[in-house]
Amino acid sequence: MKKIIGSIGVIILVIIIAIGTLTTIKVEESSLDRLKDKFSEKHIPSVDHTKFPQLQKKFTSPQQITAECISCHNKSGEEIMHSNHWNWEREEYIKGRGIVSIGKKNAMNNFCIGTQGNEKSCAKCHIGYGMDEKGFSFTDAENIDCLVCHDNSETYAKASNQGGKPVATLDFNKIAQSVGMPKRTNCGVCHFYGGGGDNVKHGDLSSLMFYPNSNIDIHMGVDNMNMQCVDCHKTKNHVISGKMYSLSSMNENRVLCEDCHTETPHKKDILNEHTLKVACQTCHIPIYAKEKATKMHWDWSKAGKLKDGKPYFEEDSLGEHSYL
Q: Can you give the pTM of this predicted structure?
A: 0.82
Please report the pLDDT score of residue 63 as a whole number.
Answer: 93
Please report the pLDDT score of residue 168 as a whole number.
Answer: 92
Q: How far apart are CA 300 and CA 40, in angstroms?
A: 45
Helix (H) or strand (E) segment spanning residue 102: strand 98-102
Q: Closest Cα partner for 183 from 156, 152, 214? A: 152
> 273-298: per-residue pLDDT in tens?
998 889 898 999 888 888 888 888 77
> 161-176: per-residue pLDDT in tens?
899 999 999 999 999 9
3-state SS, 182-210, equals: CCHHHHHHHHCCCCCCCCECCCCCCHHHC
Please report the pLDDT score of residue 177 as a whole number.
Answer: 95
Residue ranges of domains in the chain: 1-41, 47-183, 197-227+256-324
Encode burial over 265-287: b for 16+ CB neighbours within 10 A, e otherwise: beeeeeeeeebeeeeeeeeeeee
Please report the pLDDT score of residue 254 as a whole number.
Answer: 87
Please report the pLDDT score of residue 27 as a whole number.
Answer: 47
Which residue numbers in the chain have pLDDT < 50?
A: 22-25, 27
Q: How far apart are CA 305 and CA 10, in angstroms?
A: 76
Amino acid 124 reads K
